[in-house]
Amino acid sequence: NFDQTEQDAQVQQYIASGKKPAGILWWPADNNAAVGSSRRLAQIGVPIVERGPIDASKDYMTAYAGVNDVAIGKTSGESAIQWREWAQSSGLKLKSPAGNVLVMTYPEGSQFGLDRIAGFDEATKAEPFKIVGTIDAGYTTESSFEATSQVWPKLRSEGVDLIYGVSEFPANGAMQVLEEDGLVAGKVRIDPWLIGAGVTYSEALSTLSRHVPALGRLVERIGGEQVRNMGAIGGSSANGS
């Protein structure tokens, strides 16, 4: 689960059991709040491989098996800027001079969401967008759909050009809301565009080929079909793969 309080309780229960595994794969929900649990797990005396953000607990882990979430956010921010440049050069009228962006993220305290938004902000600080809303979308498509549904009528009246989802779950819930409202993400001149950090090459290929042909041709040259089906643009760029 992604509730740090529950994770801390589970760590205490496991340590109390006296078990000593060959190794531990540890994925804290909130890396800063999980330092105490990371320290206690390290005292078991077995290798710890951490999946979540690393800064706060790096002294207690043996290896890191996750991604660079700040770099993923930066890649998404750079993609958003490129989209805005394309939209403006194509004569697409934005809802505001800078472009209105709706951010779909994880619950407050989630280090993954915080790091990806920090990366997005870093990439766009010289040419910032107008953020019209930041939605706590939860960790599932269902929770994202419910959260977006509650505020979408107001946001639509204000105007949204781009939806940035920090991963596929917040993004998918937002897309469902758009579809129920008769909109299709990415439809030129009418509906909002959506850039998700977890969008795969295959998912992006059709839209890129239609609107940015040179980039579409580049995507077609990346790996084989299986690689394009699995590889996310943000993650692959951030990790240099």
- Which residues face 64 on adjacent strands? 50
Cβ atoms < 10 Å from Cβ of 59:
9
Confidence of residue 196 (pLDDT cuts 50, 70, 90): low
- Taking only the tens place, the pLDDT of each residue in 123-167 is 999 999 999 999 998 888 899 999 999 999 888 888 888 889 888
- Taking only the tens place, the pLDDT of each residue in 200-210 is 666 666 666 66
Cβ atoms < 10 Å from Cβ of 238:
22
C-beta of residue 34 within 8 angstroms of C-beta of residue 7: yes
Res. 187: pLDDT tops 60: no
pTM: 0.66
Residue 200: which region, alpha, beta or left (left: phi > 0; alpha: psi -120 to 50)?
A: beta
- Give the DSSP letter of residue 101: E
Confidence of residue 241 (pLDDT cuts 50, 70, 90): very low
Query: Rounded to whole angstroms, how far apart are CA atoms 48 and 60?
Result: 8
CB-based burial, 190-204: b 16+ in 10 Å, e otherwise: ebbbbbbbbbbbbbb
